[in-house]
Amino acid sequence: MNIVLYLGIILITGLFAGKVINFLKLPAVTGYLLIGLLLGPSVVNLVTAETVTALSPINSIALSLIAFSIGGELSRHQIKQCGKSVLVITVTQVLGAYLLVSLTLHYLLELELHSALIFAAISTATAPAATIMVLREYKAKGPMTSNLLAVVALDDALCLIAYGITMALAKSLAGKVSGGVGAMVAAPLWELTGSILLGAVFAVVLLLLSSRFKEKPDKLVLLLGLV
């Protein structure tokens, strides 16, 4: 399995798929998604499930950079301008998705409650990569864009909390509790808090060190290393 070859295929086919889909006046990310489905395990299977797993470190780095970009787009001034609406939208979206998916799976499709709750927790997550790509492609600016970026950032945080609590509840319902429900609930909360603290420390380090480097490539390497 030649990972470099598969990575090249993904990049080149994704580029051309994005250009083709632009002719239909659709965002390029639509082409990326379609070509991914076509080449992936579900259809042609050119990029196998094993290859997708092997490429997971690249995926992690990409998502980290996207999260960094979202944070870079948000400032204290923008958050103040958004006001309470961001919090209301985020909570409503998370609760709405959670309730709709859990009730539909459990009562209409008759899935076991603990399994339905897990799917419901997963459904609360948004796709920051697709959101950022569409905003960048159309050079979107304004109040709605600022609100959207804030919602995406907060939504992922709430998703982590919801997933951790739901997993604890689902294991309890399934009779597979080990280590106590409290410990399982505390784990995602600690992960979120630890991430915020670590991000704050690295931000200070980045600010202090970046002023000492004059060349942009040096600053880029420093940024990538910290991310």
- What's the pLDDT tens digit per position in 146-177? 888 888 888 877 888 888 788 888 888 887 76
Q: Quick check: 90 and 120 in contact, CB under 8 A?
A: no
0.85 exceeded by the pTM? Answer: no
Single-letter residue type at 151: V
Q: Quick check: 132 and 156 in contact, CB under 8 A?
A: no
Residue 21: pLDDT band with limits 50, 70, 90: very high
DSSP states of 157-203: HHHHHHHHHHHHHHHHHTT---S-HHHHHHHHHHHHHHHHHHHHHHH
> Residue ranges of the alpha helices (H) in the chain?
3-22, 28-39, 49-54, 56-73, 76-82, 84-103, 113-123, 128-137, 143-173, 181-210, 216-226
